[in-house]
Amino acid sequence: MIYSTDQAEKLNNESPGIQLATVGNHIKELEDYAPALFYKPITADATGGLDVFGTAGAPFDCEIVDIIVQCRAANASGTAKLTDGTNDISDAVIMAVDKVVTRAGTIDDVYSSISAGDTLQVVTNGADDRGLITIVARKLS
């Protein structure tokens, strides 16, 4: 839920106790500044790219600050990288040993900021690479 300033003010005015605590403002602040986490399981061939958000695209403007990959099936040369469909956002993250968690070694700041509606794709090295990619982002105002 995207919480607006108007909604925060409405909640703040619900009762005297809430008004004093400015609960609405605190909820809005949490939503505005909490990190956003996006998860994409890689359960099929992703060598041609697997859409992270589907057809709707990114839900809001954000900057990718970390990428975590959990391998879910051993594959000797398995990797996963994040792209915008054209440009690599991350390096190829090792995804070769079942149950092992690795993180992106590099994130390209030229491509790491995305706008609402933009697409992201996970691209694997091999057709049998399997895992879970977790994208950590901060919302942009």
Both 87 and 24 in one domain: the answer is no
Both 126 and 105 in one domain: the answer is yes
Does position 101 have pLDDT exceeding 80, yes or no? yes
Determine the structural domain holding residue 64 and report its residue range: 35-139
User: What's the pLDDT tens digit per position in 61-90?
Assistant: 999 999 999 999 999 999 999 999 999 999
Both 3 and 50 in one domain: the answer is no
Mean pLDDT of 38-44: 97
For 53-106, the DSSP string reads SGGG--SS-EEEEEEEEEEEE--TT-EEEEESSSSBSB--EE--STT-EEE-S-
Q: What is the pTM of this model?
A: 0.81
For strand 79-83 and strand 50-51, is the pairing parallel, antiparallel, or unpaired? unpaired
